[in-house]
């Protein structure tokens, strides 16, 4: 038996009161599920501090220890070291026992929302890392850096579409993980994400002509790489599917429940929930852009706000309004001294946050992942692994990232830096956006990025990553 699992299993058995306190133990896809004689013995904080334990829960009379992907190995070790009887794995979604209603507070609501977002995004980190590595290889080996492979070579094209696929089809992957979070059909979650990315819908959006769903006008929105639209849609779908499963007779449920669920979700997802991020983003983005039109101190603060809030806009898909405005400004004037400054500072702040987290984290696996996110960002130009794997997962680093983006953006604005090129990557090569003006412009642009990275790293390290030692 793997020594690591054996030691972990022994700590778990001891923490739940030893074998004599265990009536039975089984597991599902991610959790050890104990039926205990005395539920007061396990101390949640102590068990959460065991290396490899992701969390605990008490539901349906069981004491549950969340392990994750290695639950099978840990379960086998627990039954051996505790001399316990093995049981067959059970379905993941059995926690339908009603618990005592918790008092609703702003904090509890906020934590619930963040937990659902984190629970939906964290399982996708392996996909994001793999896609990021391929995109990094394209950036490093392609003509922009080492020029080892041509843009027309099969290898370049292969790495490009493999890297892009991990992000373009994000809604489909989130459709699955969000469905697991909201206890609804994962297959329908995938189907809903696929509908949002269907080539037919993409063509309708690209054509720009009015389109209706059951006569309801549909806002023309591109959902590629988006997060919020599918999360909201799966959340609402979970209630609709449960309604039909409850009220349709078993003989017709298999056919009618999924069909009616999707039929109702079409106008809700495509006309209301999907475009919601775009609607909010339009007003938020235009509000920030208005700072730039005021000039002076207001414009400086506006750049800082872009640096601080850019990644939040990316998560919700709101940043597209900013990008459209940036393209228009550069096309008309040949340069931009507002949006480019904040967005570049924000990208380097994500790298800084990843570096600060890597230096602060104690768990070797999490530390190495954080360093990987830093490299994927700084060299490969992909911010999503750090954003979802650190900022969303641990929450505290989000503050460090925002501070770094704000300070870096403020410096660029004070020094009257201008961006002359829209560079479609977020790695160190994006600093070429400042080429085209004076040498001082390029130097101050580089300093701005360095400030964003260093401040975000220091702020993240000081604020901390985990609320308690793991």
Alpha-carbon gap, residue 403 to 206, rounded angstroms: 37
Residue 278 has pLDDT above 80, yes or no: no
H or E stretch at 25:
strand 22-27
Q: What is the residue extent of each domain of the chain?
A: 3-81, 169-280, 295-463
Which band of pLDDT confidence, cut at 50, 70 and 90, is reported for residue 159?
Answer: very high
- Please tell me the predicted confidence (pLDDT) of residue 94: 47
Give the fold, CATH level 3, of 3-81. Answer: Gyrase A; domain 2 (3.30.1360)
Higher pLDDT, 296 or 356: 356
- Tens-place pLDDT, residues 4-21: 889 999 999 999 999 999
Active site (annotated) includes residue 271: no
- Please tell me the predicted confidence (pLDDT) of residue 274: 86
Report CA-CA distances (Å) from 1 to 15, 71, 85, 87, 288: 21, 14, 17, 19, 58
Which band of pLDDT confidence, cut at 50, 70 and 90, is reported for residue 36?
Answer: very high
Once rounded to an integer, what is the mean pLDDT over residues 124-137?
A: 82
Residue 101 has pLDDT above 60, yes or no: no
Alpha-carbon gap, residue 45 to 277, rounded angstroms: 37
Residue 124 has pLDDT above 70, yes or no: yes
Q: For the chain, what is the mean pLDDT?
A: 86
Higher pLDDT, 316 or 190: 190
Higher pLDDT, 389 or 315: 389
Higher pLDDT, 399 or 92: 399
Higher pLDDT, 139 or 258: 258
- Please tell me the predicted confidence (pLDDT) of residue 110: 65
Alpha-carbon gap, residue 358 to 372, rounded angstroms: 9
Once rounded to an integer, what is the mean pLDDT over residues 155-180?
A: 91
Asked if 376 contacts 129 with a C-beta cutoff of 8 angstroms, the reply is yes
- Please tell me the predicted confidence (pLDDT) of residue 103: 61
- Please tell me the predicted confidence (pLDDT) of residue 13: 94
Once rounded to an integer, what is the mean pLDDT over residues 78-91?
A: 81
Which band of pLDDT confidence, cut at 50, 70 and 90, is reported for residue 95?
Answer: very low
Asked if 434 contacts 447 with a C-beta cutoff of 8 angstroms, the reply is no
Which band of pLDDT confidence, cut at 50, 70 and 90, is reported for residue 185?
Answer: very high
Once rounded to an integer, what is the mean pLDDT over residues 213-228?
A: 88
Higher pLDDT, 28 or 263: 263
- Please tell me the predicted confidence (pLDDT) of residue 96: 44
Q: Which of 6, 28, 157, 432 is catalytic?
A: 28
Alpha-carbon gap, residue 296 to 357, rounded angstroms: 35
Once rounded to an integer, what is the mean pLDDT over residues 190-218?
A: 95
Residue 414 has pLDDT above 50, yes or no: yes
Instruction: Tell me how far the alpha carbon of residue 54 is from its chain's centroid.
Output: 18
- Please tell me the predicted confidence (pLDDT) of residue 469: 43
Question: If you search the block for the tokens 């391929």, which residue do you land on?
Answer: 134
Residue 215 has pLDDT above 80, yes or no: yes
Report CA-CA distances (Å) from 42 to 22, 62, 65, 146: 11, 12, 10, 56
Residue 256 has pLDDT above 90, yes or no: yes
- Please tell me the predicted confidence (pLDDT) of residue 423: 77
Q: pTM for the full model?
A: 0.66
Residue 316 has pLDDT above 60, yes or no: yes
Which band of pLDDT confidence, cut at 50, 70 and 90, is reported for residue 87?
Answer: confident
Q: With pLDDT > 90 as the criterion, what percentage of the chain qualifies?
A: 50
Q: Where are the alpha helices (DSSP H) in 16-84?
A: 44-48, 71-81
């Amino acid at each position: 038996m793997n020594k690591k699992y054996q030691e972990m299993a022994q700590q778990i058995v001891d923490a739940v009161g030893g074998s004599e306190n265990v009536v039975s133990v089984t597991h599902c896809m991610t959790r050890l599920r104990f039926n205990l004689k005395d539920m007061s013995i396990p101390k949640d904080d102590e068990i959460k501090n065991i290396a490899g334990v992701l969390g605990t829960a008490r539901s349906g009379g069981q004491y549950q220890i969340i392990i994750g992907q290695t639950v099978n190995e840990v379960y086998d070790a627990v039954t051996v070291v505790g001399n316990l009887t093995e049981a067959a794995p059970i379905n993941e979604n059995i926690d339908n026992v009603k618990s005592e209603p918790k008092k609703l507070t702003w904090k509890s609501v906020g934590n619930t929302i963040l937990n659902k977002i984190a629970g939906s995004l964290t399982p996708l980190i392996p996909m994001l890392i793999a896609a990021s590595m391929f995109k990094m290889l394209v950036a490093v080996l392609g003509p922009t850096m080492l020029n080892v492979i041509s843009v027309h070579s099969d290898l370049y094209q292969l790495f490009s579409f493999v890297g892009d696929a991990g992000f373009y089809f994000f809604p489909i992957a989130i459709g699955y993980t969000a469905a697991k979070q909201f206890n609804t059909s994962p297959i329908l979650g995938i189907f809903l994400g696929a509908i949002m990315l269907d080539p037919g819908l993409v063509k309708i959006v690209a054509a720009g002509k009015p389109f209706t769903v059951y006569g309801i006008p549909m806002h023309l929105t591109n959902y590629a790489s988006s997060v919020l639209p599918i999360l909201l849609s799966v959340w609402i779908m979970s209630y609709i599917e449960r309604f039909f499963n409850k009220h349709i007779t078993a003989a017709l449920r298999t056919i009618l429940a999924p069909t009616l669920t999707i039929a109702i979700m079409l106008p809700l997802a495509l006309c209301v929930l999907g475009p919601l991020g775009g609607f909010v983003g339009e007003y938020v983005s235009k509000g920030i852009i208005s700072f730039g039109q005021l000039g002076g101190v207001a414009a400086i603060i506006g750049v800082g706000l872009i640096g601080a809030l850019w990644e939040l806009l990316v998560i919700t898909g709101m940043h597209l309004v900013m990008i459209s405005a940036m393209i228009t400004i550069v096309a008309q004037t040949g340069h931009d001294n507002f949006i480019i400054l904040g967005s570049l500072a924000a990208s380097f702040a994500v790298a800084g946050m990843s570096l600060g987290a890597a230096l602060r984290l104690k768990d070797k696996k999490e530390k190495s992942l954080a360093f990987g996110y830093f490299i994927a960002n700084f060299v490969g130009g992909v911010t999503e692994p750090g954003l979802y794997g650190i900022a969303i997962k641990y929450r505290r680093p989000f503050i460090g990232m925002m501070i770094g983006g704000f300070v870096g953006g403020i410096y660029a604005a004070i020094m009257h830096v201008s961006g002359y090129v829209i560079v479609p990557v977020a790695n160190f090569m994006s600093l070429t956006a400042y080429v085209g003006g004076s040498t001082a412009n390029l130097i101050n642009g580089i300093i701005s990025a360095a400030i964003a990275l260093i401040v975000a790293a220091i702020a993240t390290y000081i604020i901390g990553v985990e609320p308690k030692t793991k």
